[in-house]
Amino acid sequence: MSEATGRVAFVTGASRGIGRATALTLAAHGHAVALCYSQDEDGANETAAAVKDVGVPSLALRCAVEDTAAVDAAFTEIESTLGPVEILVNNAGITRDGLIMRMTDESWDTVLGVDLTGAFHTIRRAVPKMMRARFGRIVNVASVVAHAGGAGQANYSAAKAGLLGLTRSVARELGSRGITCNVVAPGPIVTGMTEAMGEEWLAGVGALVPLGRPGTAEECAAVIAFLSSDPAGYVTGALVPVDGGLGMGA
């Protein structure tokens, strides 16, 4: 996978996990990387420093993606520092798990606000300049639970499922302007949190996933980086699972 030129990428939720791995992978392909965080400032700064170590510019910003004004301010700073955003990866996400009969309006609204509405905000802000450039790559990070569902995760599952409808609407609307929009759906992925769950979690994943193991953040990042690349220019509106076969047939 080669790029004609380094571009400007914006990765939300890049303090750790899939977001951090994506930022580093895009940097390795020569792209300048802006990244945002909501709470984990130290993690975001570590990611930005690692991107700079690769040899490309980076910028870490605090941005609550559910807030329109915050998103606009973040894009304005990115544009003035690095240039217009050409690659947008919507990875920001939170969970507020709970049984449906006990789930509060706040838990529902908060998760949909970050996981779904946040992606709408960033896409809406990014596309005018992408349209003028007649180039854009948008990748939304969903989850296997978007199509499989998850007990105690009605809010999270609904938000991630909504990303597919958003993605395909954007793909149809903007394809003629050279802008692609795709969604990646990770399955069980090794993170700091899951590593702490120990052997029992690993055994459970092995029993459910055809490949018999959890995935890595780097494996997700590799797929995101391809969908963000110039050679992926004829891929749009796609749902790409990175789940070891867990969601087959859904």
DSSP state of 47: H
- Number of C-beta neighbours around residue 28 at 10 A: 14
Asked if 118 and 90 count as a contact pair (C-beta separation under 8 A), the reply is yes
Contact 181, 130 (CB under 8 A): no
What the block records as the tokens of 187 is 């399955």
> Which member of 117, 156, 182, 220 is catalytic?
156
Sign of CA dihedral 10, 159, 195, 215: negative
Place of tokens 């793909």: 171
Q: Is 37 considered catalytic here?
A: no
Q: Is 201 exposed, middle or buried (0-12, 13-18, 19+ CB in 10 A)?
A: middle
By the 8 A CB rule, do 9 and 85 touch? yes
Structure tokens at 78: 């990115």
Q: Comparing C-alpha atoms, which of 247, 248, 90 is closest to residue 182?
A: 90
Pairing of strands 58-62, 32-37: parallel
Count of C-beta atoms within a 10 Å radius of residue 132: 10
| 149 φ/ψ angles, rounded to the nearest 5 degrees | 75, 165
Catalytic residues: 156
